[in-house]
Amino acid sequence: MGEPEPLLKIRDLKMHFPVYRGVFIRREVNRVRAVDGLSFDIRQGETLGLVGESGCGKSTTGRAIIQLYRPTDGEVIFDGDDLCKLDEDKLHPLRRDLQMIFQDPYASLNPRMTVGDIIAEPLRVHKLAKGKERRERVQELMDIVGLDPRFIRRYPHEFSGGQRQRIGIARALACEPRFIVCDEPISALDVSIQAQIMNLMEDLQQQFDLTFLFIAHDLAAVRHISDRIAVMYLGRLAELADGESIYTNPLHPYTEALMSAVPIPDPEIERERTQIVLEGDVPSPLNPPTGCVFHTRCPYAWERCKMETPEFQEAEPGHQVACHLLDEPERRKQGAVERQTTSAAPTEDTATDGTPDEAVEESSEIIEETEEPTTNPAETEENSDKPGKTEDSSSSREDAEAPA
C-alpha cells in the first residue's frame, strides 16, 4: 500500500517582514526572515508535528500556509491551486477548507460575543446556514467537542481554559474543513486538560478525516499525536521524518540536542544518558549566519558549515535532513567519542564528593598536622589547683574586700 497523496505541497516558502526607518520618509533598511525557504508535503489524513525553539518561525509558517499572512515568496499548492497567487475573491471559498486553532483560548475569542455567536460566525461568513438550522448546527458542534449545548448563551469568561479551547475547536470545525493548523493548542492548559484536548483531536481526526499541522513545544505531546515530525531552526527546516525515527535516530545535531532534553521516566536510563547542552543564543533572524544557520552553536561545525548552506535532502527513505555531516559521517563519530570522554572524565578515580582520592589523602594529612592536641579534663583540674593561680585568685579576693 503506497503513501497517501499530499493534501498540501509547500515549496520554498518565505515570510519576510520589512523593517523601516524614518518618520516622514520611511525606507526599508532590513528584513526579519521569519520563514526562509521551507519545502515539505502534508499528506491527507496525517498529523505533521512542527517543533523548534521559540522564535524559530513555527506559528508564522502555519499562518502563511493558510494565508493569514500572505507569503513573501514560494508556493502553497492545495487541490492544484497555488494559494499564494490567488486574490482574495478566489481565496475566500477555499478558506472553508483551511482553519486554525489558536494558542491562547481566551484572546482568540471575542469577549463581547456569546459562545453561540462565536461558533456560528464561520457559518454566517460563508453563508452555510441560517436561522434555526444554524442554531442546531452550533448545538451539534458543542456536543461534538464535549460542551453542554445549554451553554450556548454564555460568554467566554464564564468558561475554564479547557472549555474555551473546546469552543475554538468547535469554531474551526464549523465549516467542515479538510486541514487545520493547531498552533500550540495545549500550551496554555493544565496537564490533565492537555490529555483531554489531544484525545479529542485524535477522535475528531478519525471521525472527519482531518489533516493537522500540530505546532508545539512539548516534545512528548508531539510524539504522541504526530505521524511525522518536522524540526525547525531559525526559519528553516533542519530535519523531517516519522516520529519514531526522529526520537530514536536523529541525524541533525540540533535534533540530537532537542531529543536529549526529553526526560525519560526511568532513573537508570536517565542517569546513563548524556544531555547535549548547546552553547550561545539563537541568532537574530534580522542577520542570520552565513552557510548553515546552526553552525554558531553546533558541536560538529567546521569551515564548510560557515560557508555553504546544506541542502535539505533525503538521508534515508522518508528521512530528510539539512546537514553536511551526511557527507562526512566520521566527524559525527569523532564528536560523539569526544563528548562521551568529556562527560566521563570527572567521574574517574574520584571520591564521593568528586575529589580525587590522592587529594583527599593529602588534605587529611595536612589537617592532622595542623590540629592542636585535645585537652584532657584531668589535666584541666590539675592546672586549676596550682598555687600560682590560687594566690592570684585569693589576692584579687582580698583587694575586693579591702575598705576604700
Q: What is the CATH number of the domain that holds 16?
A: 3.40.50.300
> What is the pLDDT confidence band of residue 345, given thresholds at 50, 70 and 90?
low
> pTM for the whole thing?
0.79
Cα separation of 340 and 114, whole Å? 58
The pLDDT of residue 341 is 61
Residue 184 lies in a domain: yes
Residue 305 lies in a domain: yes
Residue 100 lies in a domain: yes
> What is the pLDDT confidence band of residue 351, given thresholds at 50, 70 and 90?
very low
Beta-carbon count within 10 A of 51 CB: 25
Cα separation of 247 and 332, whole Å? 17
Residue 148 lies in a domain: no
Residue 274 above 80 pLDDT?
Answer: no
Residue 176 lies in a domain: yes
> What is the pLDDT confidence band of residue 15, given thresholds at 50, 70 and 90?
very high
Q: Which residues pair with 212 in a beta bridge?
A: 47, 180
Residue 136 lies in a domain: no
The pLDDT of residue 402 is 44
Give the total number of structural domains in the chain.
1
The pLDDT of residue 281 is 84
Residue 127 lies in a domain: no
Q: Which three cell numbers stand for residue 10?
A: 509547500
- Residue 235 domain boundaries: 6-110+163-342
Residue 244 above 50 pLDDT?
Answer: yes
The pLDDT of residue 335 is 63
Residue 175 above 50 pLDDT?
Answer: yes
The pLDDT of residue 267 is 77
Cα separation of 371 and 128, whole Å? 91
Q: Taking all residues of the chain, what is their mean pLDDT, rounded to a whole number?
A: 83
The pLDDT of residue 262 is 77
The pLDDT tens digits for 282-330 are: 899 999 999 999 999 998 999 999 999 999 999 999 999 999 998 887 7
Pair 322, 237: CB distance under 8 Å: yes
Residue 295 lies in a domain: yes
